[in-house]
C-alpha cells in the first residue's frame, strides 16, 4: 500500500488565472460530475476555456426516447461555452472543428482514450487528471479499487498524455487520506475537489514554464516495472484483466484499476476475510454496489446489494453456528441475526450487513428489513 513518505506533493494549490494563465486557450474534455468540478474551477477563476468536448447525449427512459446531456455539457451550455460531441475522435469533421479553436492546452478529466492526432494537437500538450497516485491504479475505476484494496492513502495526479493508458510523464501528485469508514462516495467527493485545485495549479505551472515532469518508471520498484512492461506487451488498452473477479491484489505490486462489471462486483465470500469483505463493500458503495444472492428457506433467490457493513470479531468463538458449505459447485453461507443486522460468518469473524437493498426494493437498513423478514434457513449463495 502507499505511504505518505512515498508520495510526491505539489506546492500550495491556490491557482488564480493571471498573466500567462489567463491568455492560454484551453479546450476541456470530460463527461461526468467528477469532471464538472474541474471545469467549474477553471471558469470561476477566469481561465480561458474556449470549448468543451464531451460524450454524445445518452438515450434514457423506458423507451430510450429521451436524450440526456452529460453533466459537463450541461455546465458548459449554462455558461455559454461551445460544446463538441464527436461519435468518433478521429472523424475529420470533428478534428477540423477542434483545430479551429486554436487551443494552446487541452485538459482531460474522466473522458475517454484520445488518439494521438487529438492529444498531440495543442503546442503546450494535453494533460489528464487521474484519481489515484500514479503509477498505482491505472485504469477506469481507480477510486473504487483503492478502497477495495484497503488503501489508507490515495490522491490525484496530473500527467501529460502519451501513447499508452495512464502512463505519461507525471506533473504533480497530491495525496489524500482514506479513513476506515470511508465509502467510495466519500473518497470520490474528496478527490473531486482536490483534483480541481490541482488542475488550476498544473495550468499555472505549464503557463509559467515551471513544469518538471517525472517518468512513472522512476516511481516504480524493479518488480513493478517488470509488471508494467508485461502488461504493456499483453494489451495496449485499459481493458487488460477487466473481467477478472479476483479481489486479491498483492500490496507490493502495481495495482490495476479495471473497469467494473457485474462479474467483478459480486461478493465472493469464500475469498474474503472480514476486513477484505468490508473493504470490498465500501469500495463499491454507493455505486455500482457490491452484490450477492440471498436464498430464503423456501429456495427463492434474490439479488441483494450491500452498501455498508460492520466488522465483528467479538462473537467469533460462537461462530453463530454457521460455516461455509458447498452445494454442488456453489458455496453457501448461512445468515444469522446479530446486533440487529444480517451477519455472515467468515473464517476470522463475522461481517454484519447493515445497509442493504433487495432487487426491486428500496434501499434500507438491515434492522428495518428484519422487522418484516425471517432469516431462519436463509443463506448467501455465490453464483
φ/ψ (deg, to 5) at 272: -105, 145
Contacts of 10 (CB under 8 A, 6+ apart): 172, 173, 174, 198, 201
Q: Kindly state whether residues 79 and 160 are assigned to the same domain.
A: yes
- Whether 80 maps to a domain, the answer reads yes
Q: Kindly state whether residues 49 and 193 are assigned to the same domain.
A: yes
Per residue in 15-48, is it b (16+ CB within 10 Å) or e — as a string? bebeeebeebbbbbbbbebbbbbbbebbbebebb
- Whether 131 maps to a domain, the answer reads yes
Mean pLDDT of the region 120-141:
97
Q: Kindly state whether residues 166 and 45 are assigned to the same domain.
A: yes
pLDDT for the residue numbered 314 = 81
Report the chain's mean pLDDT, rounded to a whole number.
87
Q: How confident is the model at residue 315 (pLDDT cuts 50, 70, 90)?
A: confident
Q: Kindly state whether residues 160 and 277 are assigned to the same domain.
A: no
Among residues 34, 23, 14, the alpha carbon closest in space to that of 197 is found at 14
Of residues 86 and 2, which shows the higher confidence score? 86
- Whether 9 maps to a domain, the answer reads yes
Tally of domains in the chain: 2
Rounded distance, CA 39 to CA 353, Å?
38
Strands 256-257 and 170-177: unpaired
- Whether 197 maps to a domain, the answer reads yes
Strands 330-338 and 170-177: unpaired
CATH number for position 294:
3.10.25.10
Mean pLDDT of the region 236-257:
49
Q: Kindly state whether residues 173 and 86 are assigned to the same domain.
A: yes
pLDDT for the residue numbered 325 = 59
Q: Kindly state whether residues 83 and 169 are assigned to the same domain.
A: yes
Asked if residue 178 lies in contact with residue 136, where contact means CB atoms within 8 angstroms, the answer is no
- Whether 325 maps to a domain, the answer reads yes
Mean pLDDT of the region 261-276:
96
Among residues 49, 83, 76, 89, the alpha carbon closest in space to that of 199 is found at 49
C-alpha cell read off for 44: 470561476
Of residues 3 and 180, which shows the higher confidence score? 180
pLDDT for the residue numbered 225 = 56
Q: Kindly state whether residues 275 and 197 are assigned to the same domain.
A: no
In the listed set 191, 222, 253, which residue is the last one of a domain according to the structure? Answer: 222
- Containing structural domain, residue 162: 4-222
Q: Kindly state whether residues 75 and 204 are assigned to the same domain.
A: yes
- Whether 252 maps to a domain, the answer reads no
186 has a pLDDT exceeding 60: yes
Q: Kindly state whether residues 118 and 48 are assigned to the same domain.
A: yes
Taking only the tens place, the pLDDT of each residue in 328-366 is: 557 889 999 988 999 999 999 999 999 999 999 999 999
Q: Kindly state whether residues 291 and 175 are assigned to the same domain.
A: no
| Stretch among 135-139, 294-298, 331-335 having the lowest mean pLDDT | 331-335
- Whether 343 maps to a domain, the answer reads yes
Q: How confident is the model at residue 326 (pLDDT cuts 50, 70, 90)?
A: low
pTM value? Answer: 0.86
**Torsion sign over Cα 66, 70, 75, 76:** negative
In the listed set 222, 254, 286, which residue is the last one of a domain according to the structure? Answer: 222
Q: How confident is the model at residue 3 (pLDDT cuts 50, 70, 90)?
A: very low
- Whether 253 maps to a domain, the answer reads no
Amino acid at each position: 500500500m502507499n505511504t505518505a513518505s512515498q508520495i510526491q506533493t505539489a506546492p500550495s494549490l491556490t491557482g488564480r488565472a493571471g498573466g500567462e494563465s489567463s491568455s492560454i486557450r484551453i479546450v476541456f474534455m470530460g463527461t461526468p460530475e467528477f469532471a464538472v468540478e474541474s471545469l467549474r474551477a477553471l471558469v470561476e477563476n477566469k481561465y480561458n476555456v474556449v470549448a468543451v468536448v464531451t460524450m454524445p447525449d445518452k438515450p434514457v427512459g423506458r423507451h430510450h426516447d429521451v436524450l440526456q446531456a452529460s453533466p459537463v455539457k450541461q455546465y458548459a451550455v449554462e455558461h455559454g461555452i461551445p460544446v463538441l460531441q464527436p461519435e468518433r475522435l478521429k472523424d475529420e469533421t470533428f478534428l477540423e472543428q477542434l483545430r479551429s479553436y486554436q487551443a494552446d492546452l487541452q485538459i482531460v478529466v474522466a473522458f475517454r482514450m484520445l488518439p494521438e492526432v487529438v492529444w498531440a494537437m495543442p503546442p503546450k500538450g494535453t494533460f489528464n487528471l487521474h484519481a489515484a497516485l500514479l503509477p498505482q491504479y491505472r485504469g477506469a475505476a481507480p477510486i473504487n479499487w483503492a478502497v477495495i484494496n484497503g488503501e489508507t492513502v490515495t490522491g490525484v495526479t496530473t500527467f501529460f498524455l502519451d501513447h499508452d493508458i495512464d502512463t505519461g510523464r507525471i506533473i504533480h501528485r497530491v495525496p489524500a487520506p482514506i479513513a476506515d469508514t470511508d465509502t467510495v462516495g466519500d473518497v470520490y467527493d474528496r478527490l473531486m475537489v482536490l483534483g480541481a485545485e490541482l488542475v488550476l495549479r498544473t495550468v499555472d505551472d505549464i503557463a509559467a514554464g515551471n513544469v518538471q515532469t517525472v517518468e512513472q518508471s522512476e516511481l516504480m520498484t524493479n518488480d513493478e516495472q517488470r509488471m508494467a512492461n508485461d502488461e504493456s506487451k499483453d494489451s495496449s488498452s485499459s481493458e487488460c484483466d477487466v473481467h477478472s473477479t479476483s479481489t486479491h491484489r498483492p500490496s507490493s505490486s502495481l495495482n490495476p484499476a479495471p473497469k467494473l462489471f457485474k462479474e467483478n462486483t459480486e461478493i465472493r465470500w469464500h475469498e474474503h476475510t472480514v476486513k477484505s469483505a468490508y473493504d470490498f463493500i465500501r469500495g463499491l458503495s454507493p455505486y455500482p454496489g457490491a452484490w450477492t444472492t440471498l436464498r430464503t428457506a423456501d429456495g427463492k433467490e434474490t439479488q441483494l446489494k450491500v452498501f455498508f457493513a460492520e466488522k465483528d470479531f467479538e462473537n467469533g468463538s460462537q461462530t453463530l453456528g454457521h460455516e461455509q458449505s458447498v452445494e454442488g459447485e456453489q458455496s453457501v453461507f448461512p445468515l444469522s441475526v446479530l446486533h440487529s443486522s444480517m451477519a455472515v460468518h467468515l473464517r476470522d469473524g463475522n461481517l454484519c450487513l447493515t445497509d442493504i437493498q433487495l432487487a426491486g426494493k428500496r434501499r434500507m437498513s438491515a434492522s428495518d428489513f428484519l422487522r418484516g423478514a425471517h432469516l431462519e434457513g436463509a443463506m448467501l449463495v455465490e453464483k
